[in-house]
Amino acid sequence: MYWVPNVITLGRLLMVPVVALLLSNQLYAAAFWLFLFVGISDGLDGYIARRFDVTSAAGALLDPVADKMVIMTCAFVLAWNGWLPLWLAIPLIARDILMLIVGVTDPRLEDRWLKPNLLGKAHAALAFSTLTITIAQAAQFVDIGLGLTVLFVLLFCTVTGSGIFYFVAWRRARRGMQIKSSAV
């Protein structure tokens, strides 16, 4: 049972190019259903991992990478197609790229993870929700008009707020590690 959450996460990663291809070809209805499935699978793998206590280091690394890849890819293609404004797409993509780069390249963070917090989880939920509604609007399933702009502004606030939070936490983590290593 320990492998189930990781298989779901890997499946989500494998769906990223498929969603991108559907969005690129403006097959919004199919992209909507696949993106919705991807979002639900994100919650499912986390639930299974916690419920059955089958968390792993691989899952702790792969899950946020999969989330970021899904969000960045969809944001890029939706912005390219004119469905997501650049003032939102650029910081949304930049935040996740920077978080991935720092997580992979900063050797001082090797043994110390920046734990997810409520603002980061709210950002992820709002990003998935906003992108889902944007794709639904592109597929002509809904027409929420100005409501979509309100979602864009709220998402921009969580992008900015969570980005600042993680930057400050990263700086504090680095300073703490410098103090430890210099005291040794």
Instruction: Give the residue-averaged pLDDT of 76-98.
Output: 96
- Beta carbons within 8 Å of 138's beta carbon, 6+ residues apart: 26, 28, 32, 78, 81, 83
Total domains in the fold of the chain? 1
Contact 69, 134 (CB under 8 A): no
pTM: 0.88
Tens-digit pLDDT profile for residues 120-178: 889 999 999 999 999 999 999 999 999 999 999 999 999 999 989 888 888 887 777 54
- Beta carbons within 8 Å of 161's beta carbon, 6+ residues apart: 119, 123
Q: Which two tokens stand for residue 1?
A: 């049972």
pLDDT at residue 44, rounded to an integer: 92
Q: In which residue are the tokens 């090797």 written?
A: 110
Q: Which two tokens stand for residue 155?
A: 């998402």
pLDDT at residue 107, rounded to an integer: 66
Range of the domain at 86: 4-183
- Beta carbons within 8 Å of 175's beta carbon, 6+ residues apart: none
Tens-digit pLDDT profile for residues 17-63: 999 999 999 999 999 999 999 999 998 998 998 889 888 878 878 88
pLDDT at residue 85, rounded to an integer: 97
* pLDDT at residue 180 is higher than 50: no
Q: Give me Rg for the CA atoms of the chain.
A: 17
Q: What is the CATH number of the domain that holds 9?
A: 1.20.120.1760
